[in-house]
């Protein structure tokens, strides 16, 4: 194992730890801003780092199509290309093939598909996915998997999971170990606990630097997600990091940490920032609503972000209603600060043995207020 992971405190299933990567230390539990196409939308790399983020996500599917992994490698790798000196995790492309690609056909070798950009034909195999991620220079590489659509019957889910496990073994054998770099396997199995547990056991048998739980946050609901985690996480290696892919809302993160998850990614904070939605310690705000038009208060008086330090809700409302780019930039920065602060608070709560109290206070503070009046 060449990717270091140290656990310094525990509370129940929750862990406080540190990932030791080739590009620095990452404190866990951690939320990764999504930089799918070598950029976190509406943010500079310096702005992302200012939130406290030290690990971002890039994507094999998007970068292999544009501008191309070989081109990025020739330009010095993804870190230099996007001016990000800290750690990068790259998704394998399996989810995007399912959700974006056209005329896809899945077989034992891999998946053939046509690009959603220009219709060009491609073959993505486990070996090619791992090679692309090495060209990009990812600190954390993900094994190629098939993300089963939801809902699907158990027979189809089990067959898909078994294919993903065979791909996982090929991904692991292709990965080239080097200091500070690692590869994660991805648990699949839909919403079926027995299939999930079989997948987890198979991945642990293969042996990975970390373990992700994939195939969730695609419509099954929070209660089902948590039930899947309750069945799955105990079957994973306790001394390696656990990553819940594509999740989620702040309450999802708190609940998943309490179930043993260390790492998260989701487009929600950045996408919400581009659609006038702000996450705060007292709930979620829609800055398009008329109630904010004359409000001189900041979004969140406890927040340290540029939006809260220098701009009022009234001004942000004006920017959003006028569709000014600055509005998206400020709200995105705010949301990423909020997520980073939430994870820092969770880490502190675990260190102090107070996570259960923190979760209760968080839930009370996030209780929805009466509906806002819309213009």
Known catalytic residues?
91, 265
Q: Which residue has the tokens 């997600």?
A: 225
- At residue 295, the 3 state secondary structure works out as coil
The answer to whether residues 270 and 340 touch, using CB atoms and an 8 Å cutoff, is: no
b/e 189-200 (16+ beta carbons within 10 angstroms → b): bbbbeebbbbbb
- At residue 9, the 3 state secondary structure works out as strand
**Phi-psi category of residue 294: left, alpha or beta, with phi > 0 → left and psi -120 to 50 → alpha:** alpha
Q: Which tokens is 191 given?
A: 């919403």
SS3 letters across 161-216: HHHHHHHHHHHHHHCCCCCCCEEEEEECCCCCHHHHHHHHHHHHHHCCCEEEECCC
Give me the DSSP letters along 298-346.
-S-TT--SHHHHH--HHHHHHHHHTT-HHHHHHHHHHHHHHHHHHHHHH
Alpha-carbon span 203 to 188, nearest angstrom: 10
Residue 56's nearest CA partner among 169, 158, 136 is: 136
The answer to whether residues 97 and 60 touch, using CB atoms and an 8 Å cutoff, is: no
Q: What are phi and psi of 71, to 5 degrees?
A: -65, -45
């Amino acid at each position: 194992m060449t990717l270091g992971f140290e656990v310094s405190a525990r509370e129940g299933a929750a862990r406080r730890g540190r990932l030791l990567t080739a590009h620095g230390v990452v404190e866990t539990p951690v939320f990764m801003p999504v930089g799918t196409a070598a950029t976190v939308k509406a943010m500079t790399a310096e702005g992302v780092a200012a939130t406290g983020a030290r690990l971002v996500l890039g994507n094999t599917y998007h970068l292999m199509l544009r501008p191309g992994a070989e081109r990025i490698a020739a330009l010095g790798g993804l870190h230099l290309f996007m001016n990000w000196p800290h750690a990068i995790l790259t998704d394998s492309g399996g989810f995007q093939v399912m959700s974006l690609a056209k005329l896809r056909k899945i077989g034992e070798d891999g998946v053939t598909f046509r690009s959603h950009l220009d219709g060009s034909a491609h073959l993505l195999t486990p070996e090619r996915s791992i090679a692309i991620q090495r060209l990009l220079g990812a600190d954390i590489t993900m094994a190629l998997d098939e993300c089963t659509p939801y809902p699907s019957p158990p027979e189809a889910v089990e067959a898909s999971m078994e294919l993903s496990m065979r791909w996982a073994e090929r991904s692991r054998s292709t990965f080239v170990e080097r200091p500070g770099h690692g590869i994660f396997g991805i648990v699949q199995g839909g919403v079926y606990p027995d299939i999930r547990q079989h997948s987890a056991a198979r991945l642990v048998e293969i042996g990975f630097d970390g373990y992700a739980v994939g195939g969730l946050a695609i419509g099954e609901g929070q209660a089902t997600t948590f039930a899947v985690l309750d069945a799955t996480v105990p079957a994973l290696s306790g001394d390696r990091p656990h990553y819940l892919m594509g999740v989620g809302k702040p309450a999802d993160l708190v609940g998943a940490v309490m179930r043993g998850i260390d790492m998260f990614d989701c487009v929600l904070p950045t996408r919400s920032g581009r659609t006038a939605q702000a996450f705060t310690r007292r709930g979620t705000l829609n800055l398009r609503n008329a109630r904010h038009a004359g409000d001189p208060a900041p979004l969140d008086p406890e927040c340290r972000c540029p939006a809260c330090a220098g701009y009022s809700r009234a001004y942000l409302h004006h920017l959003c209603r006028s569709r000014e780019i600055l509005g998206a930039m400020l709200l995105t920065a705010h949301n990423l600060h909020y997520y980073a602060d939430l994870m820092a608070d969770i880490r502190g709560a675990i260190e102090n043995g107070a996570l259960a109290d923190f979760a209760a206070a968080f839930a009370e503070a996030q209780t929805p207020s009466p509906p806002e009046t819309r213009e």
